[in-house]
């Protein structure tokens, strides 16, 4: 099941992924750095993910 991850502050869609792997984490960090330049970069993946909402997306009905 895919997930949509959106930033709490700006509510923009930044990534759709089944699992937050290293590449996805890099994309989230890039978005965070661009959107929130005045905020200190989270040190761990858990700290980073706390800054985002993760919402389950259901597939369209057939």
For 8-44, the pLDDT digits (tens) are 544 444 444 455 667 767 777 777 777 777 777 778 8
Out of 5-9, 26-30, 51-55, the most confident range is 26-30
29 in a structural domain? yes
61 in a structural domain? no
Instruction: Identify the pLDDT of residue 34.
Output: 76
Per the document, the length of the chain is 62
Domain of 22 in residue numbering reads as 3-56
Structural domain tally of the chain? 1
Q: pLDDT-based confidence at 2, cuts 50/70/90?
A: very low
CA 56 to each of CA 14, 22, 37, 43: distance values in angstroms, whole numbers, following the listed order: 14, 20, 28, 26
One DSSP character per residue, 4-47 reads EEEETTT--EEEEESS--HHHHHHHHHHHHHH-TTSPPPSSHHH
28 in a structural domain? yes
11 in a structural domain? yes
pTM for the whole thing?
0.46
Structure tokens at 38: 């005045």
22 in a structural domain? yes
Q: Which residue has the higher pLDDT, 7 or 46?
A: 46
Instruction: Identify the pLDDT of residue 56.
Output: 59
């Amino acid at each position: 099941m895919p997930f949509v991850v959106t930033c709490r502050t700006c509510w923009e869609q930044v990534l759709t992924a089944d699992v937050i792997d290293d590449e996805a984490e890099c994309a989230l960090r890039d978005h965070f750095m661009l959107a929130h330049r005045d905020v200190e970069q989270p040190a761990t993946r858990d700290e980073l993910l706390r800054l985002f909402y993760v919402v389950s997306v259901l597939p369209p009905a057939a």
